[in-house]
Amino acid sequence: MCEINMLGYERNDNKIGLRNYLAIIPTVFCVNEVAEVVASQIPNSKPLLHTHGCCELKPDLERTTNILCGLINNPNVGGCLIISLGCEGVNNEELIQTANRAGKSSYCVILQKAGGMTKCVEACLEKIPEIQSQINASKRKKIELSDIVLGIKCGSSDATSGFAANPAVGSAVDILIAHEGSAIFGETTELIGAEHLLVNRCANNETRDSLVNIVKRMEEKIKRTGVDMRGSQPTPGNIYGGLTTIEEKSLGAISKSGTTQIQGVLEYGQTLLGHGLYVMDSPGKENEIMTGLASGGVNIIVFSTGGGAPQGFPIVPVIKVASNPQKTIIMKEHVDIDASTIINGVESVENVGRKIFTEICAVASGKKTKAELLGYDKTIGIYVDGPSI
Amino acid sequence: MYSTNMKKAIRINKQDNVATALNEFVPGDIAQVIDSDGTVSQIYVREAIPFGHKFAIDEINSGAVVIKYGEIIGMATGNIIRGYHVHTHNVVSQRGKSGGNSNV
């Protein structure tokens, strides 16, 4: 159906990068400024600024460490600079070891040892030529469709999402899976009310049980707060766009996963080891699910939207598929694929699905997405359970 | 068949008791409701319905389920007459709140 005409970046774990970035990773929010200044002086680098790494309960510190390690392991990352403060909760050694195990060049600088921001930045810049030359020497290999690990997300949904962009994305996912590619979708909150349809697609009992469990766990977590989910899910934007209940939102959302068998359920940020279609436990919050997907190893994301969600992701190209005819025009500069033609009766879901699949191949071949061209790709987010303390 | 200048709505599944507006409706409009198999029926719209919002295509009694995609999307909190707006003011979710249960 379509060929990917590019050499990808072959990593030690046999995963294929579609991009080859230097990731600049603060171990803790306290050194975000340093990471940002360093990144501004290095082409092809991506600062992964976040708000965690200290003053949190142990499970959340472990979560943060695991996610940062997952991002280092992402196939689109060729090497990394690790910026540490020196007194944080996250263990920078684990990040360095992760990079070493992945065979990715890395360098860690500790602000409190270097003697402040200026010296820290100088130390990073001094080390850059060596790291860059190793990144540029990454092994290359022709990209096969089976090397694609697609993240699937919908955001700023409205009533059109459920019968235009989402089913069209689902149709593209079906084509990818038929070509032995892999895909991960999530947004556990948006499985609520639709899980009875998904369990029928699970490959085995273990997957079925896990899927039911993550939905129950999410619903219990919401109930424990004592606050009714109505009022925040569906979001005010969803309600304005015609979505009345979480069940309605979920039923529209799951169509983006297509129709194929679900092979397994991943915890938030867990590395995908298998092949085929998977579910990842994750919230609907855009930056947090995309961070989880990237940590899990997706090398490209398709993101459908009704009202016009603009965001991309620092180390993973994000293809935007728009659904609402009016919003598609207004938000044109953020839209890669127009699925509103389905609403207007001009195109079928299958036609737009094929267009999305062709775009996945084009972006894998190096075409830049709107979010990449605009630089609308700065925000990551780590999903944690506990309070700041 | 329907003419292209008629105001349209879509019923996604034959079992649905609501249709989704593909135009803005004002009270008194006749909606051409397109079914998934392409058949068209007409509904007299009794309230303003914004684009993307739902209106009842059957009478929905208080406490009865509201169906879209052939699935339950919530419960009516009052009687909803054919042609009236169906949204957060007269439909309530059964999930994510105390007493709500999984459907598996």
Q: What's CA A200's distance to the chain center, in Å?
A: 26
Written as six digits, the tokens of B87 are: 């949204």
Contact A259, A170 (CB under 8 A): yes
Q: Which of B91, B54, B80, B12 is closest to A164 using CA atoms?
A: B12
Residue B102 has a pLDDT of 61
**Reduced to 3 states, what is the DSSP secondary structure of residue A16?**
strand
Residue A3 has a pLDDT of 76
Say how far apart CA A262 and CA A270 lie, in whole Å.
16
pLDDT at residue B5 tops 70: no
* pLDDT higher at B5 or A308: A308
Report long-range pairs for A176-179 (Cβ below 8 Å, ≥24 apart). Answer: A176/A145, A176/A148, A176/A150, A176/A357, A176/A360, A177/A258, A177/A260, A177/A276, A177/A277, A178/A260, A179/A1, A179/A145, A179/A146
Which residues lie closer than 8 Å to A297 by C-beta, 6 or more apart? A15, A70, A73, A74, A75, A149, A271, A272
Q: Is A230 close to B93, i.e. CB distance below 8 A?
A: yes
Q: Is B71 close to A197, i.e. CB distance below 8 A?
A: yes
Cα separation of the two ends of chain B: 40
Residue with tokens 């038929």: A178
pLDDT at residue B17 tops 80: yes
Residue B104 has a pLDDT of 64
Longest dimension (CA), chain B: 47
Residue B98 has a pLDDT of 54
Beta sheet of B71-76, edge-to-edge order: B65-68, B71-76, B91-92
Average pLDDT of span B70-81: 97
Segments in chain A below pLDDT 70 = 1
To the nearest whole Å, the CA of A149 is away from the closest chain B CA by 29
The H or E element spanning position B68 is: strand B65-68
Quick count: other Cβ atoms within 10 Å of Cβ B99? Answer: 6
Q: Which of A316, A349, A327, A323 is closest to A337 using CA atoms?
A: A323
Name the E strands within chain A: 7-10, 16-17, 21-26, 45-47, 77-84, 105-110, 140-142, 149-155, 182-185, 262-266, 277-280, 300-305, 318-322, 337-338
Say how far apart CA A238 and CA A306 lie, in whole Å.
9
Residue A233 has a pLDDT of 82
Q: pTM score > 0.90 for this model?
A: yes
Residue A22 has a pLDDT of 98
Residue A7 has a pLDDT of 93
To the nearest whole Å, the CA of A227 is away from the closest chain B CA by 8
Residue B1 has a pLDDT of 45
Total CB pairs under 8 A between chain A and B:
106
Give this complex's ipTM. 0.93
Beta sheet of A337-338, edge-to-edge order: A262-266, A277-280, A182-185, A149-155, A300-305, A318-322, A337-338
- Name the residue in chain B with its Cα closest to that of A324: B52
Q: Is A230 close to B73, i.e. CB distance below 8 A?
A: no
Residues of chain A whose C-beta is under 8 A from some C-beta in B?
158-160, 162-163, 189, 192-197, 199, 212, 215-216, 219, 222-223, 228-230, 233, 239, 241-242, 244-248, 251-252, 306, 324, 326, 343
Which residue type is seen at A236?
P
Whether omega before A236 lies within 30 degrees of 0, making that bond cis, reads no
